[in-house]
Structure 1
Amino acid sequence: MKITKSVTLGICSVLLLSSLAACSKNETSSPSAEATKQTKDVKITFFNTSAEVNNVFEDLFKTYHELNPNVSIELIPTPIGGGQLEKFQSLLASGSPATIANLDPATILQFKDKFADLESEKAKYEKLTKQGAVDGALLDGKFLGVPWTAQGYGLLYNKRVVEEAIGGAFDPASVKTRDDLEALFKKIEASGKAPVMIHGADWSLGAHYLGLAYSLQSKNVDENRKFVEGLKKGDIQLANNPQFSGLMDTFDLLKKYNARKNDPLVADYMKDSGDFAKGNTAFYFMGDWTWSVIGTLEGRDKEFGMIPVPISNNPTDYGNTQVAYSEPKLLAVDKSGSTPEQQNAAKAFIEWMVTSEQGQSAIVNKMGLSMPYKEVKVKGTNVISDAVTKYVDQGQAINIGVINYLPTDWWSKTGASMQKYLVGKIDRKGLADEVQMYWKSYSGK
């Protein structure tokens, strides 16, 4: 779940995707789409920041047009890795905004006055989505974007490697504390395998790992926002925070058993993912998006799962039995330059996309993503997403929505500090001081 502009869904930039074959005209659309068919021609546009799947969206638009001949949808593509926000701003400035925008929640929040309040759609999506999905998509309490994908992260595990090391079946629920994790690591090391892989990129260390410190303060996003404000004002000292301390104690454990400890900053995503998939390491701190690499590899193992990152030796502490989970992209409807007819057409298309078999097949099978919806009519191949779904269905997920309210450079700046800590250039106090100084630089902002 690489985070921020092109980062939240970002690691999916390694997706190697084929186009979605156009569906037959004989296929039927969802009842809701039929009920909201336009009676006159309307053209809408779709601004897409998931640039890796432009072709899938284009084919999906063709399918929808076949089912709804009066509605045409034009893709506004963006480049992979940069310039997306600038292009979105230029469309606003020109008075020609996209009718639908596929954006990071933080960007929608930044331009919230430009988007339609979807309060009238909220109850419908609360029934369609899994528990907490709509709440996780709220921005300043408003429903401004429809969630369509979901991602989770934690400690991925290679089932074969773990079970060979312990000499039997592995129960992921057996790891509830840091000591449990270390005991397992010792057995894996004794078997001749590296226990865990840490990917040394700043986004993985700063956003995904250290970012947990802000989300673990409370199950309530607003309380976590207050925590961040306390860091900015200097009212809260990070070094004294139990969640931060526990998280870093676990990081020390991961460092000790890291497969890359001799060269921890090499950060070769393809190699790290490949080594894990082929059994050279048992665990991997990463998210379900890595299936876009793992799923394509020849000679890989077949069975993988995920466990939470334990942050203490008290099994009841929040985070020890929950995995991080979020909706990295939302679909927002423009109100600043779109007509009521265009807005209605946009809402109808979004509902069709997330509820119809054609739309779900595009998302799950062609894009390789998972969906936070109760009734998904198609079955994907991402077994790691399946593991995340089990946690979500059991209510064992960490809402990391606080990141939607953080500055755009939070992960890169603090990620650089985490990299220093990973290689021993700064100690725990130095890390806490650097992160604290970062937040103080935003005091009053």
Structure 2
Amino acid sequence: MKLRKVLSLILVLSFIIFLNLGGLNAAEKVKITLLSTKGEINAALEGVAKDFSKDYPNISLEIIPVGVGQSPFEKLSTMYASGNAPTLAMIDVNDVPKFKENFLDLSNEEWVKDAVKGALNDITFDKKVMAFPFTIEGYGLIYNQQAIEKVIGKFDPKTIDTRNKLEALFKKLEEKGLTPIVVSPLDWSLGAHFLTIGYVTQSSDPKKIDKFIEDLKAGKIDLSKNRKMNGLLDTLDMWKKYNYLKRSPLAGTYEQGAQLLATGKVAFWFMGNWAWPLIKEVNPNNVQYGFLPVFVSNIPNDYGNREIPVGVTKVIGIDMKQNSREQQEAARTFLNWLVYNKNGQNAWVNKLSVITPFKNVKLTPNDPLAKSIFEYMNQGRTLRFLVTLPPDHWPTVGASMQKYLANVISREQLFKEITDYWRKVK
């Protein structure tokens, strides 16, 4: 009898040990993948993946990088076609409608209630939240205050509120031997960011901006007579005169722009806060940067002359077609780790320099560009960051903008190419 009890006890203990070592109900190691389409943080994401696995040793997270300027839409489409979709796909907001049939409905996730106002608007379809808002970004004319003050003394960016005042500053900088600006000839920068300022400054009412886009599609807009579009291009024409690349306007690269700004070889660069990791890498000792608006006129309070575009730009979808249920759950765990775990929040904000779209995350990136964006946000001086344009907008219209930047086509020809593009959009 005693022998039976001993044998029974041994069996029970053996079963418990079996479970703890990875038996029937123990969590087995799950491998998940994250397609990263923010090239400037790919290296930092590798470190974040390791941080996550320290907190969740049963989950390994592999980062699949997409380079700066590569199309997230094309990369993800190729992966789905090959039957190798990532568990988590970081994509642009305007690409979500193309992939939402492959993504999990995330409407019941805890973080939905903690998202900041408007963060879920463009990724909600039929009341279903189809992606996770990953980052808020903003852009404008980045200035290197240290470089400016080195040649002209004290510089107060608040005194520059029109195109003419900016040009007066440019002239003074040039006279002192500092090249005022570099205009990077990137189709995504010119097409998705610069040109769209002309769209969003039409009105502070989002519905009127949408109406403007619809009228472009219908061929009802004569861009040559549009004040804001012409004002925006007047500003670009002024930039061209002082451009570091004016002798070869299409020769510049993204990396070159960051290098020139960070080393003080130019005073201004048109770009967004996503460039901070690269700027910091080039010159970690200078943190005196901020944003000026891209002026659309010489009227100080004209809509667009005090504001910069700010919004949710990158989102993450969880694949439900080519990844297992265990992988999907592990992906949910990762997103919740970012939003609610102390280590996750720290990694998200401080290691990736991300402005998070969640009210409960109180951390803010310790970088000057993010701080400048927060200042604009707190003052209500923001434009709509237009992230719902067709996927081919920036490569197509961006190519037209490159030709205009290089003086290959006239303004009239540029407006025709933009109009022709929109009339083909269904």
Smaller-chain TM-score bracket: 0.7 to 0.9
Name the SS of the counterpart of 1:317 in structure 2.
coil
Given the superposition, is the C-alpha separation of residues 169 and 56 from structure 1 closer, same or farther in structure 2, using an over 3 Å criterion?
closer
Structure 1 counterpart of 2:21:
none
SS in structure 2 of the partner of residue 405 of structure 1: coil
Deviation of 1:432 after TM superposition, in Å, equals 0.6
* Distance in 2 separating the partners of 1:274 and 1:73: 35
Q: Deviations over 1:73-94 (max 9, x none)?
A: 5537255465865664466567
Give the aligned partner of residue 156 of structure 1.
142
One of 261, 273, 281 as aligned partner of 2:246: 261
Correspondences of 1:118-267 after superposition (within 5 Å): 118-121=106-109, 124-125=111-112, 127-129=114-116, 131-135=117-121, 138=124, 142-164=128-150, 166-170=152-156, 172-221=157-206, 223-267=208-252
- 1:7-46 residue pairs with structure 2 within 5 A? 41=27, 43=30, 45-46=32-33
Q: Which amino acid aligns with 1:422?
A: L
Letter in 2 for 1:160: Q
Q: Who is 2:424 aligned against?
A: 441
**Corresponding residue number in structure 1 for 2:380:** 395
- For 2:158 and 2:122, how far apart are their aligned partners in 1? 25
Give, in whole Å, the separation in 2 of the partners of 1:286 and 1:66: 35
* 1:122-161 deviation per Cα after TM superposition (whole angstroms, max 9, x unaligned): 8x445354x4433465568753212122322100111123
1:404 is aligned with what amino acid?
T
Q: Percent identity?
A: 35
- CA offsets, 1:323-371, max 9 Å, x none? 1223332122334466777655533431211332322333334334443
CA distance 1:362–1:240, change in 2 (3 Å): same
**Structure 2 residue aligned with 1:330, among 310, 315, 335?**
315
CA deviation string 1:218-241 (max 9, x = no partner): 445554343223212212222222
Q: Give the TM-score taking structure 2 as reference length.
A: 0.80
Distance 1:168 1:86, change over 3 A: closer
Change (3 A) 1:139 1:321: farther
Match of 2:388 among 398, 401, 404: 404
Aligned to 1:28: none
Cα-Cα RMSD: 3.3
1:4 counterpart residue number: none
The alpha-carbon deviation at position 315 of structure 1 amounts to 2.7
| Matched residue SS, 1:150 | strand
One-letter identity of the residue aligned with 2:314? K
In structure 1, the residue matched to 2:274 is 289
Stretch moving more, 246-255 or 95-104? 95-104
Which AA in structure 1 matches 2:103?
F
Aligned AA for 1:432? F
Which amino acid is the alignment partner of residue 256 of structure 1?
Answer: K
Distance (Å, rounded) in 2 between the aligned partners of 1:193 and 1:151: 29
Alpha-carbon distance between aligned partners in 1 of 2:124 and 2:131, rounded to the nearest angstrom: 8
Q: Secondary structure at the match of 2:414?
A: helix
Tell me, yes or no, if the aligned pair for 1:56 and 1:362 is still in contact at 8 Å. no
Q: State how far apart, in whole Å, the 1-side matches of 2:101 and 2:304 are.
A: 35
In 2: Cα distance, 1:219 partner to 1:41 partner:
51
Distance 1:435 1:140 in 2: 32
Distance in 2, matches of 1:203 and 1:327, equals 17
Q: Distance in 2 between matches of 1:140 and 1:246?
A: 38
Q: Which amino acid aligns with 1:49?
A: S
1:108-132 superposed Cα distances (whole Å, 9 cap, x missing partner)? 221222223333348x445354x44
Q: Greater shift after overlay, 249-258 or 134-143?
A: 134-143
Could you tell me which runs of 5 or more consecutive residues in structure 1 were left unpaired when the two chains were aligned. 1-38
Between stretches 424-433 and 392-401, larger displacement belongs to: 392-401
Native 8 Å contact 1:195 1:283 kept in 2: yes
Contact 1:44–1:99 (8 Å) recurs in 2: no
Mapped partners of 2:370, 2:263: distance in 1: 19
CA gap of 1:89–1:304, structure 2 versus 1, over 3 A, is: closer
CA distance in 1, matches of 2:178, 2:342: 42
Aligned residues: 399
Quote the Cα distance in structure 1 between the aligned partners of 2:207 and 2:323.
32
Partner of 2:105, secondary structure, is coil
Q: Match of 2:22?
A: none
Which of 95, 102, 106 is matched with 1:114 structurally? 102
Of structures 1 and 2, the larger Rg is shown by 2
Structure 1 window deviating more from structure 2 (174-183 vs 140-149): it is 140-149
- Quick one: which of 369, 378, 391 aligns to 1:384? 369
Structure 2 counterpart of 1:163, one-letter code: E
Q: Distance in 2 between matches of 1:423 and 1:181?
A: 22
* CA deviation after TM superposition for structure 1 residue 384, in Å: 1.8
Unaligned runs of 5+ in 2: 1-24
Aligned twin of 1:418? 401
Question: Which residue, out of 78, 85, 88, partners 1:100?
Answer: 88
Change (3 A) 1:91 1:199: closer
SS in 1 for 2:281: coil
